[in-house]
Amino acid sequence: MGELIVKSKQIERHQTLREKILETIREAILKGDLKPGEKVAEPELAERFGISRTPIREAFRQLESEGYLTVIPRKGAVVAALSERDVQEFYAIKSILEGTQQNWQPKTSQTRTLPSLNRSMKGSRKLHKKAT
């Protein structure tokens, strides 16, 4: 498995362990630290992070549903091929959501915006899955 580079990064306290692992692996894939076709080993990640395999398994399931990994029963997870457009769309959506989060004030218009963005993001994921 390629070297998974985990840089010191401020992580919000309300994130679950699964979410932290999910974000770390997703970023490694998008930055090219984990290459398409490369095996991502559950036991190795569990040892590296000093955690059980359960949150890693949960993160793998989420990443598979998003199209980042392909999980092969009794074989493990493999990084899926992403196009340049996939990566650009991910960062565009991420920047929108982060901007919305930073400027969050409980106003009626903003309360409607976040669910709409989430629906758009889910729709993009479904289209991506159909295309691949």
Domain boundaries, the chain: 17-79, 84-131
Say what the pLDDT of residue 62 is: 92
- CA–CA dist 74, 25 (Å, integer): 20
Residue 69 three-state SS: strand
Q: What is the CATH number of domain 17-79?
A: 1.10.10.10
**Pairing mode of beta strands 76-79, 69-72:** antiparallel
- CA–CA dist 119, 110 (Å, integer): 14
Cβ pair 82, 68 in contact under 8 A? yes
Residue 77 three-state SS: strand
Full-model pTM: 0.55
Q: How far is CA 89 from CA 77, 82, 95, in A?
A: 23, 11, 10
Residue range 33-55: average pLDDT? Answer: 90
- CA–CA dist 82, 32 (Å, integer): 10
Q: What is the pLDDT of residues 34-43, one digit of tens each?
A: 999 999 999 9
